Structure 1
């Protein structure tokens, strides 16, 4: 409830209510934290995954360096406008409008992140160089033509590969391809090691990379998809390897939090002071 509404209910002015809350009661305003929804069946799967990861880390404290985490994200061309944070201070109503296309353009980007750096970005496009969404065929083509060659260039061998449970990731043909490349070192839904559903808080791309990149690539307000893609590519290239190392070290901490929470949300991170 807002201070305005509460002050009206109490028959007090806004400033008096604010003084009571802040000065007399000594309380502070806090925002509600938005997190992914978890289903009851998700909790044991998350707990099992956390126990597995901690077991691997007990065997080898540097195990986190042997995982390539992967994910896709959409970057909308008009994504730099946040009307919730945009205010125009004026004596009169400026009647400012922003025209948005009916079907705004977007870039669909894939990246792999490991403790030594970032593989990518890879932009999903059709033969006419237009941005497209991901399906199983395009995802497998990316694995074959981009990801695996990049692994060879970086001399990454005996690595684990992680992906979430998106349909294009878990199609029969895709899983067969990934099993052929990674064998039992595959973390995925329907994989040798099951990736728990609705667990974006457990992958570095969701809890770090995408938000970090989106906070920066819109600063110069790119006017075209090409400009947006150039920004994404340039900014990802600037992320230093030591930052990726720290992000993956944080993943090991999250596994400990996950065990203590018994699969629930990671309160120790969400409400960290």
Structure 2
């Protein structure tokens, strides 16, 4: 009935009463106007007449719009109380307890309460004395920055990392669409092949990489002798074109780094400018959030080098070399600017974790 206009409804009513209120006669009378196949059916004629006799009008009634009352003040209040009691509850569990749909619960949380979902961040556990050592280091770094605003550009950070051949599979983001469950399984070796790589990082770029491996290309453990050989044979030549008279060198507290023989080698180039356990300035343990290799470089590399699914350690090494070669100095400079923000945040938190700062590189 809705496809006919108000004028056509009026015509139907006139013909109906002109033909002695006969639906059949009205149906036949409409043929000259619509033809045999396009005229209103007897059912439509009857509906138009019934509506006219009931309401006295042939105007079309507007389609009622269903009012959405789910985001009512009462439901918003219930969701707000639920969040105050437990802010870590999932959307599905919260909506089930409140008797609301998940969509409504999500809209209330976002639109009406202005909340955002945040993920838990995993970080290194801090021991009892770590807070003091982190605070002392942050205070020292900030003092250096007050004396020299470019101090953050004069520190070379260093570290090693392992890159496994099997890469990383995120089961949460991996979905297989099919009619039946294919029971897809990805096997992982208990002792996968890996690449052990060392890099230096400063505001001017990335130094390296250097791979710890034997004569057949297999990754080997980093001990003091091999670490010192890498410094002498690879790191020193890389510094040949750099003015390191005022540069500092940082390393973590691994045993191969802090051996007396290793520190003696480092002091040959960085006299009284070694940041390390047992060095000229103590590096606080369990502080991966304070070194740019951990909070930036390793994660950035691992997000890139597995893109083409390398099948050999040689291919993985080639990817690492290629990606590092594409890192521009301006990006490294921004990372080191970020490091200065972390020093201030560490000082504010008295050596604790850094939950109050969003770091944008």
Same fold (TM over 0.5): yes
Which whole-Å CA distance do the structure 2 matches of 1:259 and 1:22 have between them? 33
Partner of 1:78: 166
1:237 aligns with 2:298: no
Contact 1:33 1:270 in 2 (8 A): no
2:261 to 169, 173, 187: 173
Equivalent residue pairs, number: 272
Aligned Cα root-mean-square deviation (Å) = 2.0
> CA-to-partner distance for each residue in 1:19-63, whole Å, 9 max, x for gaps?
554455453322112222112311111111111111111111111
1:133 to 221, 245, 248: 221
Which whole-Å CA distance do the structure 1 matches of 2:181 and 2:228 have between them? 52
Question: In the TM superposition, what is the alpha-carbon distance from 1:93 to its structure 2 partner?
Answer: 1.2
Which SS does the other structure have where 1:110 is aligned? strand
1:164 aligns with 2:164: no
Select the structure with the greater relative contact order (CA < 8 A; seq sep ≥ 6).
Answer: 1
Larger radius of gyration: 2
Contact 1:117 1:244 in 2 (8 A): yes
Contact 2:338 2:359 in 1 (8 A): no
Partner of 1:118: 206
Change (3 A) 1:156 1:181: closer
Partner of 2:177: 89
Question: In the TM superposition, what is the alpha-carbon distance from 1:99 to its structure 2 partner?
Answer: 2.4
Return 5+ residue gaps in structure 2 as ranges.
1-88
Which whole-Å CA distance do the structure 2 matches of 1:5 and 1:208 have between them? 35
1:265 aligns with 2:342: no
Return 5+ residue gaps in structure 1 as ranges.
none
Which SS does the other structure have where 2:200 is aligned? strand
Partner of 1:103: 191
More displaced stretch, 154-163 vs 228-237: 154-163
| Equivalence map 1:1-273=2 (5 Å) | 1-10=89-98, 14-15=102-103, 17-22=105-110, 25-270=113-358
Contact 1:43 1:263 in 2 (8 A): yes
Contact 2:166 2:192 in 1 (8 A): yes
